[in-house]
Amino acid sequence: MKIRCIIVDDEYLARTLLEDYIGKISQLELVAKCSGAPQAMEVLQNENIDLMFLDVQMPDLTGVDFLRSLNNKPVVIFTTAYSDYAIDGYSLGVIEYLLKPISFERFFQAVNKAIEQINLLRKSTNDETEDFIMLKSEHRIYKVKYHDILYIEGLKEYVIFNLKNEKRIITLRSMKSLEDSLPDNFMRIHRSYIINKNEINTLYRNMVEIGDKKIDIGKTYKEKVVEELFKK
């Protein structure tokens, strides 16, 4: 599976150089080149991005401030002409720090390091034979048992896992990818909700009750929900 990349840099020549370097590595797929944070945010909201090459000094919003604004983020490699942002990069979980002008040798080393981390995360996240799911949130990776999940709520490009211990974990995933990969005891009942069927307390009219949460059943899901809940 290709590693999907985005370049965020206000300098045309820097974007062109990185595009050329990315093209030399078969595992990488360039999804977008962005001249600033607003454009990059739009891409991140609409595409699954594994790796971001992010410049630090940009107009409107610096790379550091942009990164701080993201609750969940792809693996990030800083690309900058200034060495004094290394500490910021470390505190924000940036995996590598490339100083301009960037040689292909250093680029290759940084990408190899990023690929290792991305593949490890993919392996943990996509292992459907286990009784848990790995969730990346705020620079941490959580191991969550399926039976501890009450329901999952969609929030734009993020999802919120609501757990039995009243903990909530927000992570960058799509509802569709979860719907296709979760075990059979999970069911989508609304555009914005996936529930654990084993945790339903009450089914009443057009809603289900899980714990102290009442969740509406979407009109387009109602027939499927009733059939699923009452099948023998």
Place of tokens 């390091």: 113
Nearest to 126 by CA among 135, 117, 114, 137: 135
CATH topology (fold) of 132-230: OB fold (Dihydrolipoamide Acetyltransferase, E2P) (2.40.50)
90-102 confidence digits (pLDDT tens) = 667 889 989 999 9
Closest among 73, 145, 197 to 224, alpha carbons compared: 197
Q: Express each pLDDT in 161-197 by its tens digit.
A: 999 988 999 998 888 888 888 888 899 999 999 999 9
pLDDT beyond 60 at 232: no
Give the position of tokens 């820097």. Answer: 14
Q: Which contiguous run of DSSP H or E holds residue 159?
A: strand 158-163
Architecture of domain 3-125 in this structure: 3-Layer(aba) Sandwich (3.40)
Place of tokens 């009109």: 219
Domain ranges of the chain: 3-125, 132-230
Q: Residue 123's pLDDT is what?
A: 72
> Has residue 78 got a pLDDT over 50?
yes
Is 0.75 topped by the overall pTM? no
